[in-house]
Amino acid sequence: MTISRRDAITRGAAALAAAGLPATLHASSDASPERAASAADPLPAFAPAYRQSVARWCFSTLPIDQLCIEAKRVGLQGIDLLSENEWEIPARHGLRCAIANGPGPITDGWNDPKRHDTLVAESERLLPLVAKAGIPQMIVFSGNRRGQSDGEGIRHCVRGLRRILPTAERLGVTVVMELLNSKVDHGDYQADHTTFGVAIAEALASERFKLLYDIYHMQIMEGDVVRTIERYAPYIGHYHTAGVPGRHELDDTQELNYGRIARAIAGTGFQGYVAHEFMPTSTPMKHLGDAVRIFAG
């Protein structure tokens, strides 16, 4: 599917306006003197407050117990995107399930009011179980656009998600909506720009709703990764990494400077999980260990 390219800020402002929300989120600000420094200047060391995880599906050739053993060995603290039957396994190895799979598939999400009753019922079933398992977050998706405007999609997502937030708030579980690209991997997915998710977060105004900022997906859709992270840090509850292009390891075959991105995330004071969601081309644990070191400071 061919998706026309639009400037992220212009698109976001239009979505906010269509949803009846203020566009002041997108006001630009002058770069600080630090950002104006030469790219050749050495960056200071950093001490991140966040933890690191790995997406289960990217290393699915390994049995989950073996993945946990290897993850612990290379310095990870969590495993991402586990289903109910796997939630308890990381704890056996001194790890944590960092984010649980939630209700519904990527394509059929909260932007479809016809699905709200089903999604709410499944969320209300899952959230107490997620909390009991000690998992801090549950993932959700906007769903595919299917011809509706961003303003409509935002309003539908807000209306549906508002129904489950009292339970999430009572249980202390954060509902996290993932931002995905609609250009390469998830054609027609609606939450394909940061500003779409920010508009939902602003409307919900709950600490128990955040965004999953997937660096790989947002580099494809809008770029400007470091500045976006710094600007919208209060709305972000989780990060995913992968190389662009190809969704492979974080090395010099791809275009992102993950050392700089790691410093930007640390600089916001982020205390959640940065999870590695890349598909290794070879020597998986070596590449996973390399990624851990980039983000370890």
- Convert the pLDDT of each residue in 88-119 to its tens digit: 999 999 999 999 999 999 999 999 999 999 99
On the CB side of 86, how many CA atoms lie within 13 Å of its CA?
24
- Given a contact cutoff of 8 angstroms between Cβ atoms, the answer to whether 291 and 256 are in contact is no
Q: What is the pLDDT of residue 45?
A: 79
Say what the pLDDT of residue 13 is.
45
Provide the whole-model pTM.
Answer: 0.86
**How far, in Å, CA of 296 to CA of 289, rounded?**
10
Average confidence (pLDDT) over 280-291:
96
For 240, residues 6+ apart whose C-beta sits below 8 A from its C-beta are 55, 80, 178, 212, 213, 214, 215, 216, 217, 275, 276, 277
Lowest mean pLDDT among 1-15, 112-126, 137-151, 204-218: 1-15
Residue 40 is predicted with a pLDDT of: 45
Number of alpha carbons in the 13 Å side-chain half-sphere of residue 191: 31
- Domains within the chain, CATH numbers bracketed: 8-20+49-296 (3.20.20.150)
Report residue 22's pLDDT band, with 50, 70 and 90 as the boundaries.
very low
**Which pLDDT score is estimated for 183?**
98
Instruction: Look at strands 78-82 and 51-55 and give their pairing.
Output: parallel
146: number of Cβ within 10 Å: 12
Positive or negative, the Cα torsion across 268, 261, 154, 277?
negative
Neighbours of 213 (CB within 10 A): 25
What rounded mean pLDDT belongs to the chain? 89
DSSP code of 32?
Answer: P
Q: d(Cα 39, Cα 275) in Å, to the nearest integer?
A: 26
- Encode pLDDT of 44-85 as tens digits: 678 899 999 999 999 999 999 999 999 999 999 999 999 999
Tokens 């003197």 — which residue?
33
Give the model confidence (pLDDT) of 251-268 as tens digits. Answer: 999 999 999 999 999 999
Residue 192 predicted with pLDDT over 60: yes
pLDDT of residue 168: 98
Single out the residue of 89, 84, 101 nearest to residue 212, CA to CA. Answer: 101
Determine the pLDDT at residue 29: 38
From the number of C-beta atoms within 10 Å of its C-beta (0-12, 13-18, 19+), residue 67 rates as buried
Question: 3-state class of 140 per DSSP?
Answer: strand
pLDDT reported for residue 171: 98
Share of the chain above pLDDT 90, in %: 84
Tell me the pLDDT band of 36, cut-offs 50, 70 and 90: very low
User: What Å distances lie between residue 262 and 20, 73, 211, CA to CA?
Assistant: 35, 21, 18
- Give Cβ neighbours of residue 58 (< 8 Å, ≥ 6 apart): 276, 277, 278, 279, 280
Averaged pLDDT, 133-156: 98
The beta-strand segments (E) located in the chain are: 51-55, 78-82, 96-100, 137-140, 174-178, 209-214, 236-241, 273-276
Cis peptide before 63 (omega within 30 of 0): no
Give yes or no for residue 211 having a pLDDT over 80. yes
